[in-house]
Structure 1
């Protein structure tokens, strides 16, 4: 079964994302509350998609993204940054780190669900 990893230190956002995506039977949700654990889970579980915050304890999301995208064993994982950092420089930094896309918090749960569905549909081929 496909896996989606949510790496987010804010428990309210983590719960919202989990509730938003939790009803879909196409994937299993994995959760990490800091960058270090998120990186370890990504390497062990090899999810199809990572929803990655930037401002994380222990290891920030940009470093997690760079580490995964620079390793051929994990570079295929789709990384969607989910961040409240909204400046153009922030978005550029996320994409420069190798993220496939950038989604701004606060977000509409329905918009996030649609984006995840689009990603999964595009990567199922």
Structure 2
């Protein structure tokens, strides 16, 4: 069973709850936040192995969130997967240039999400 810690940061509660359910079933330890500010606070204490991160959120957007994580000595090696409706090539380039390890466009399949998570976590 997995023991890795994953933080979900997305302002769409239905997405957060669905992804939390999927990940919990697979044995991951999951924390969740509904905006970037809350997500940063949780990340500092939870110290996740991976963050699933929306781009368009209140207070701190996903791209800024990623830059802040990458500049934090305790969090800089945390894997980040952007999960967003912003699917243009320039959006993806922005995601990677701001520190994302992967980029998934909504809507996505459970299989796609799990395979990307497992790949980044070395499973």
Q: TM-score, normalised by structure 2?
A: 0.92
Structure 1 residues not aligned, in runs of 5+: none
- Which residue of structure 2 aligns with residue 17 of structure 1? 19
Q: How many residues align?
A: 121
Q: After TM superposition, which residue ranges in structure 1, 4 or more long, deviate above 6 angstroms?
A: none
Structure 2 residues not aligned, in runs of 5+: none
* Correspondences of 1:66-85 after superposition (within 5 Å): 66-85=67-86
C-alpha separation between the residues in 2 aligned to 1:60 and 1:91? 15
C-alpha separation between the residues in 2 aligned to 1:92 and 1:65? 14
- Which residue of structure 2 aligns with residue 57 of structure 1? 58
Q: CA deviation at 1:72?
A: 2.4
Cα offsets for 1:61-101 (capped at 9, x unmatched):
11110001122221100000011100111111111111111
* Correspondences of 1:1-125 after superposition (within 5 Å): 1-25=3-27, 27-121=28-122
CA RMSD of superposed structures (Å): 1.2
